[in-house]
């Protein structure tokens, strides 16, 4: 039987599943994972924590994942209370729960593309209408202007607004006035600031966490997949008003975070200084890529994330294929003339730059 023969929801017909290519190549720099394995002390701490839970798997996990929320509040700081933290199986599930609670049929979400491609996909799964906002209307590039964002929020009157800082795929961080403008332009919309790459931001880049006091409709989402090198564990979280967490309790599945997930995440958070030790090394490779690309005749977008978007390519799809033939996998994000590369190890950066130089020379 084909998919078309099943009684699928009409709004899902013709949709394509999300997924970046998972190819066995020497240099894999397409999904913004950390190229660094967990440090040995962290790996041992996680294994020991999980081992302690295994004998108790006959019991359901702590439904409120209290210890994990305590550790997340401690890690984030900003005087956040445990009641203001929520976690799920990756930040994608957090976003799904937000849309289940505040979106749905007859409601609208506004995002400013290009941004994280899962935002409209998750929105669609909840039968929430998606509106593509304009990016760079004032400057002609990928930036967001506070006045223009406020105007679009007023014109659209959405129920949920998505902002991404640092933005994926551009890597650019948002000024806080953009977040304030979006929040103030609507008296009822939930404003979601996706800060999945916040730990990689350049010095002095502010977090929307500073705006939470007095703004109960503002939430900030984070992940342990990137800076914590914990992508395989699937742990994401948000900070917001305690009432937001109460709303998410209405839509979460029972015991949605397993005992093993909770134990692994708590162990990793308690090893945060060790895990985050690689962030500076990744930033250095990101900045190395940004500095090197103009010499190859392509233009990078200055980045506050662990990746670099670069443009000026005559045929991005062909360049992607040529890089793959050289054993380097990057991401075609669907922007004409642009590709995105994750900042990896020094050797991976060298391999990427060497392959790109060869590819561009061959194309000439």
For residues 274 and 281, the answer to whether their CB atoms sit within 8 Å is no
Token reading at 300: 């990078």
Ramachandran bin of 237, using left for φ above 0, alpha for ψ from -120 to 50, beta for the remaining angles = beta
Which of 30, 31, 25, 23 has the alpha carbon at shortest distance from 326? 25
Distance (Å, whole) CA 118 – CA 219: 17
Alpha carbon distance 277, 268 (integer Å): 13
Q: pLDDT at position 251, please?
A: 98
pLDDT of residue 141: 77
How far is residue 162's CA from residue 122's CA, in Å, rounded to a whole number?
A: 12
- pLDDT of the residue at 109: 98
Q: What CATH number labels 20-38+277-363?
A: 3.90.1150.10
Residues in the chain with pLDDT values less than 50: 139
User: What DSSP string describes 72-87?
Assistant: HHHHH-TT--GGGEEE
Sheet containing strand 299-300, strands side by side: 299-300, 307-311, 339-342
Cα separation, 345 vs 291, whole angstroms: 16
108 forms beta bridges with 129
> How many degrees, rounded to 5, is the angle at CA 17 between CA 16 and CA 22?
120
Which pLDDT tens digit goes with each residue over 316-334?
999 999 999 999 999 999 9
pLDDT of residue 19: 77
Residue 140 has what pLDDT?
Answer: 52
Polymer length of the chain: 364
Distance from C-alpha of 94 to C-alpha of 280, rounded to nearest angstrom: 27
Reported as a single tens digit per residue, the pLDDT across 17-39 is 887 788 889 999 999 999 999 99
What is the topology classification, in CATH, of domain 40-270? 3.40.640
Q: Quote the pLDDT of residue 137.
A: 52
Alpha helices, DSSP H, located in the chain: 40-54, 66-76, 91-102, 118-125, 146-156, 176-185, 242-249, 259-269, 272-275, 279-292, 316-325, 346-363
Structure tokens at 143: 């930036």
pTM score, whole prediction = 0.95
Q: β-strands 339-342, 307-311: how paired?
A: antiparallel
The residue extents of the domains of the chain are: 20-38+277-363, 40-270
Instruction: Please give the pLDDT value at position 151.
Output: 97
pLDDT at residue number 340? 98
Beta carbons of 115 and 164 less than 8 angstroms apart: yes
């Amino acid at each position: 039987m084909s998919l078309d023969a099943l009684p699928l929801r009409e709004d899902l017909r013709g949709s394509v599943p999300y997924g970046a290519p998972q190819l066995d190549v020497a240099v894999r720099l397409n999904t913004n994972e950390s190229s660094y394995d967990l440090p040995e002390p962290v790996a041992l701490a996680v294994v020991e924590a999980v081992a302690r839970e295994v004998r108790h798997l006959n019991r359901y996990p702590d439904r409120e994942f209290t210890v994990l929320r305590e550790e997340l509040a401690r890690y984030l700081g900003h005087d956040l209370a445990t009641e203001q933290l929520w976690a799920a199986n990756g930040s994608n599930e957090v976003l799904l729960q937000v849309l289940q609670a505040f979106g749905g049929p007859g409601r609208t979400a506004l995002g400013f593309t290009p941004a994280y491609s899962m935002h409209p996909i998750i929105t669609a799964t909840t039968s929430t209408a998606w509106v593509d906002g304009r990016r760079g209307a004032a400057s002609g590039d990928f930036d967001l202007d506070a006045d223009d964002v406020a105007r679009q929020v007023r014109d659209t009157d959405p129920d949920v607004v998505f902002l991404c800082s640092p933005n994926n795929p551009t890597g650019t961080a948002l000024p806080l006035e953009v977040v304030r403008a979006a929040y103030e332009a609507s008296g009822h919309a939930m404003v979601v600031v996706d800060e999945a790459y916040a730990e990689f931001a350049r010095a002095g880049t502010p977090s929307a966490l500073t705006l939470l006091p007095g703004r109960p409709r503002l939430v900030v989402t984070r992940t342990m997949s990137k800076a914590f090198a914990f992508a395989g564990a699937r742990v994401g979280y948000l900070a917001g008003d305690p009432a937001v967490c109460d709303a998410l309790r209405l839509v979460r599945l029972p015991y949605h975070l397993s005992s093993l997930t909770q134990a692994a995440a708590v162990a990793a958070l308690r090893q945060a200084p060790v895990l985050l030790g690689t962030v500076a090394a990744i930033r250095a490779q990101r900045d190395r890529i940004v500095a090197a690309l103009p010499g190859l005749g392509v233009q990078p977008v200055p980045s506050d994330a662990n990746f670099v978007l670069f443009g000026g390519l005559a045929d991005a799809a062909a360049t992607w294929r040529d890089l793959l033939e050289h054993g380097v996998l990057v991401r075609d994000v669907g922007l004409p003339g642009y590709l995105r590369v994750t900042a990896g190890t020094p050797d991976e950066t060298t391999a990427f730059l060497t392959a790109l130089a060869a590819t561009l020379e061959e194309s000439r």
